């Protein structure tokens, strides 16, 4: 329960509906807790003949009793017959208002938590997404917050109403007992309430453990599902359907097993409380009769006891809800409390556009323990086009990813015109960089909207000019609706080359002084390849460019080549220099020529590098 308190701060935004909800809960409690037993205590004895001459009443009760008696039997009967539905009407309206308003407040809380989670996910470093599966994160954002909504909505409406009902009926019981000594013995069965609490606590604990496992498995299932939905090609190409189905069945069966356990514990609470309560009732009857209790007193006692056990039962259910919700809170907090490992500086320095050079000063970096970049020390003057080559896993992408601060160096520093990247805001660093990834992501929306990502306020003319420079204009016009063509979820309707050209158009539009380009490893068709090549030649002009090169054709547009091997730069120079002086690079080129001189334009660089 304590764990949920911080989230109730979101209620500040809905304080009035929440307050109205609480007040209706109190009205509900008074109407049901004290109203009904009160009727049976004061009113029914007037209407129904009893063995007892007159009920024992206190001053106020006698006053009410006398006024009611003065009305006459028939009139009173009419009033009571109206009073009963009226009491229930008040109970119904206040109960409804309470449930609606508290649910509304609960939903607003969940809405705020979902937004907080999303905001947090936008700021977390890339490393967080590498270590967590997107499906699991999705489950935390959607299913866990939904469970939280159920908890807040389910619990909140009762959280005020039920304790208030319990208190009012218990207060009434104590009051009755105070008035009538014979009742004292009869309220002793109330000690069965603590027994109920014990039952609730122990079941709640078990339920919490199972709920935690269940939510975790649920996250795993969503992750597996999203993986499966994202890889239809591989699944079919490798005939993995049966394996996927078997895997899915296994997960579902495990989830079913855990879900049933949760249901068992959840459903056990109410009947257990009823059994304990029925023993309490039986004890009340026994002790009441032994103490010489009269029917009117017993009716009052019975009503109040009934009203007292109902909230205990409901509170038990709330406890189970909180136990289940605790597991979700834990999973939500995993995201909310994640530290941003790429801290912003306390007093950020304004980063002017790059004019002179980017420097890597003795930079080393490790994702885990093993360094993947070692003592990299170099300067890249403004406007230089640098090709990064070397075997797979040599550290090329890691090197390029340090420039936009996707990661920070473990040792050493990277500067732009002498300013350490870590002393500027991440958004300012990234504003200077355009990135064209290997498989550019296209967002849901039109082609124009996808290009406009480079500059959100770009005019249609600017978008088209960028597309022309990227050699994308023609194929865009050939689409059904030209620039207004919707691209699919992952841009599946476009070819790899077309997607790259849209990403290049984005980069043209962004017009940033630094460009990072990760070439597509898959071969583009020769026309697309030529288009991309032409677009790139244009794009790199006047920008400091890093190209993770997979094609030798790319090296021809580079001023400088960095050869990576096992995290070190083992050769650094122009294509011509390295070709003549560096044996590794020379070997790379020779192997390429040996492999097939006719396809030199499309041979992946790393395929010819021997470690």
Ligand X SMILES: Nc1ncnc2c1ncn2[C@@H]1O[C@H](COP(=O)(O)OP(=O)(O)OP(=O)(O)O)[C@@H](O)[C@H]1O
Q: Which is nearer to ligand X, 28 or 406 (CB)?
A: 406
Q: How many residues bind ligand X (CB under 6 A)?
A: 14
Q: Is the CB of residue 172 less than 8 Å from the CB of residue 288? A: no
Residues 526-534: contacts with CB within 8 Å, 24+ apart? Answer: 527/497, 528/495, 528/496, 528/497, 528/498, 528/501, 529/497, 529/553, 529/601, 529/602, 531/471, 531/497, 531/501, 532/471, 532/497, 532/500, 532/501, 532/504, 533/557, 534/471
Q: How far apart are CA 396 and CA 610, in angstroms?
A: 16
- Residue 110 or 516 having the CB closest to ligand X: 516
Tokens representing 110?
């969940």
Which residue, 320 or 398, has its beta carbon nearer to ligand X? 398
- Our finding on whether 372 is near ligand X (CB under 6 A) is yes
Indicate the residue among 261 and 568 with the shorter CB distance to ligand X.
Answer: 568
Q: Is 394 in the site for ligand X (CB under 6 A)?
A: yes
Contact region with ligand X (CB under 6 A), list: 309-317, 392-400, 525-533, 594-602 = 392-400
Q: Quick one: 154 or 391, whose CB is closer to ligand X?
A: 391
Compute the least distance from the CB of residue 394 to ligand X, in Å.
Answer: 4
Q: Of 396, 452, 471, 551, which lies in the binding site for ligand X, with binding defined by CB under 6 A? A: 396
> Does residue number 398 form part of the binding site for ligand X (CB under 6 A)?
yes
d(CA 484, CA 504): 18
Binning the chain into helix, strand and coil, the percentages to the nearest 5 are 70, 10, 20
**Pick from 2, 12, 51, 130: which binds ligand X (CB under 6 A)?**
130
Cβ 368 to ligand X, closest distance in Å? 6
Based on CB atoms, which residue is closest to ligand X, 12 or 130?
130
Nearer to ligand X, 529 or 606 (CB): 606
For the chain, report the end-to-end CA distance as a whole number of angstroms: 58
Q: In the bound complex, what is the minimum distance in angstroms from residue 500's beta carbon to ligand X? A: 16
Say which DSSP state 53 is in: S
> Exactly one of 171, 383, 393, 573 binds ligand X (CB under 6 A); which one?
393
Radius of gyration of the chain (CA): 37
In sequence order, which residues have a C-beta less than 8 Å from that of residue 219 and are 6 or more positions away?
135, 136, 139, 140, 143, 144, 331
Choosing from 395, 440, 454, 491, the residue that interacts with ligand X (CB under 6 A) is: 395
Give the whole-angstrom CA distance, residue 338 versus residue 121. 10
How many other CB atoms are there within 10 angstroms of residue 599's CB atom? 11
Closest approach of ligand X to the CB of residue 28, in Å = 55
Among positions 558-597, residues that touch ligand X (CB under 6 A) are 564
CB neighbours of 522 closer than 8 A, spacing ≥ 6? 496
CB of 499 to ligand X, least distance (A): 18
Chain positions 338 to 367 lying near ligand X, rule: CB under 6 A, are 367
Q: Which one among 368, 456, 478, 576 touches ligand X, defined by CB under 6 A?
A: 368
Cα–Cα nearest to 199, from 125, 270, 139? 270
Residue 392 binds to ligand X (criterion: CB under 6 A): yes
What string of H, E and C letters represents the secondary structure of 416-440? ECCEEHHHCCHHHHHHCEEEECCCC
Binding segment toward ligand X, per CB under 6 A, in 11-19, 40-48, 393-401, 420-428: 393-401
Identity of the residue, 36 or 562, whose beta carbon is nearer to ligand X in the bound complex: 562
By the criterion CB under 6 A, which residues form the site for ligand X? 130, 367-368, 372, 390, 392-398, 564, 606
């Amino acid at each position: 329960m304590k764990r949920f308190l911080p989230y109730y701060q979101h209620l500040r935004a809905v304080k009035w509906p929440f307050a109205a909800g609480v007040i209706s809960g109190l009205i509900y409690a008074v109407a049901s807790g004290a109203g009904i037993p009160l009727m049976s205590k004061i009113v029914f004895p007037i209407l129904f003949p009893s063995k007892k001459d007159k009920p024992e009443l206190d001053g106020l009760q006698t006053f009410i009793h006398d006024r009611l008696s003065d009305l006459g039997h028939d009139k009173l009967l009419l009033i009571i017959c109206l009073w009963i539905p009226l009491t229930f009407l008040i109970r119904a309206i206040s109960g409804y208002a309470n449930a609606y308003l508290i649910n509304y407040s609960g939903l607003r809380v969940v809405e705020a938590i979902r937004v907080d989670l999303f905001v947090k996910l936008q700021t977390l470093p890339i490393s967080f997404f590498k270590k967590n599966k997107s499906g699991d994160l999705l489950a935390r954002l959607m299913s866990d917050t939904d469970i939280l909504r159920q908890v807040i909505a389910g619990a909140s409406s009762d959280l005020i109403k039920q304790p208030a009902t319990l208190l009012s009926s218990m207060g009434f019981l104590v009051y009755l007992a105070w008035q009538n000594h014979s009742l004292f013995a009869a309220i002793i069965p109330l000690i069965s309430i603590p027994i109920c609490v014990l039952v609730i606590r122990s079941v709640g604990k078990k339920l919490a453990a199972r709920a935690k496992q269940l939510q975790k498995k649920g996250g795993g299932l969503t992750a597996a599902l999203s993986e499966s939905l994202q890889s239809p090609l591989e699944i079919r190409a490798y005939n993995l359907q049966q394996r996927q189905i078997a895997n899915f069945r296994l997960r579902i069966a495990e989830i079913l097993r855990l879900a049933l356990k949760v249901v068992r514990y959840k459903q056990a609470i109410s009947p257990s409380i009823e059994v304990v309560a029925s023993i309490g009732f039986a004890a009340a009857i026994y002790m009441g009769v032994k103490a010489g209790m009269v029917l009117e007193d017993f009716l009052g006692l019975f009503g109040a006891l009934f009203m007292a056990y109902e909230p205990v039962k409901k509170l038990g259910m709330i406890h189970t809800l909180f136990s289940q919700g605790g597991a979700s809170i834990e999973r939500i907090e995993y995201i909310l409390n994640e530290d941003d490992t790429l801290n912003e500086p306390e007093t950020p320095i304004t980063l002017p556009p790059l004019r002179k050079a980017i420097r890597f000063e003795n930079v080393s970096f490790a994702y885990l323990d093993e360094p993947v970049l070692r003592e990299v020390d170099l300067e890249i003057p403004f406007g230089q086009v640098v090709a990064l080559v070397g075997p797979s896993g040599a550290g090329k992408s890691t090197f390029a990813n340090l420039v936009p601060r996707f990661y920070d160096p473990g040792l050493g520093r990277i500067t732009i015109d002498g300013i350490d990247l870590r002393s500027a805001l991440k958004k300012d660093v990234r504003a200077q960089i355009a990135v064209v990834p290997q498989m550019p992501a296209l967002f849901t929306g039109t082609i124009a909207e996808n290009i406009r990502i480079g500059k959100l306020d770009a005019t249609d003319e600017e978008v088209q000019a960028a597309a022309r420079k990227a050699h994308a204009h023609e194929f865009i016009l050939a689409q059904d609706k030209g620039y207004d063509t919707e691209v699919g979820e992952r841009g599946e309707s476009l070819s790899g080359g077309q997607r790259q050209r849209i990403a290049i158009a984005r980069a043209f539009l962004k017009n940033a002084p630094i460009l990072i380009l990760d070439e597509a490893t898959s071969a583009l068709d020769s026309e697309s390849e030529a288009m991309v090549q032409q677009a790139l030649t244009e794009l790199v002009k006047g920008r400091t460019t890093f190209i993770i090169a997979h094609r030798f054709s790319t090296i021809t547009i580079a001023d400088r080549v960095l050869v990576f091997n096992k995290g070190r730069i083992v050769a650094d120079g122009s294509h011509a220099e390295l070709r003549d002086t560096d044996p590794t690079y020379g070997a790379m080129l020779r192997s390429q020529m040996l492999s097939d001189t006719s396809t030199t334009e499309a041979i992946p660089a790393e395929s010819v590098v021997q470690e």
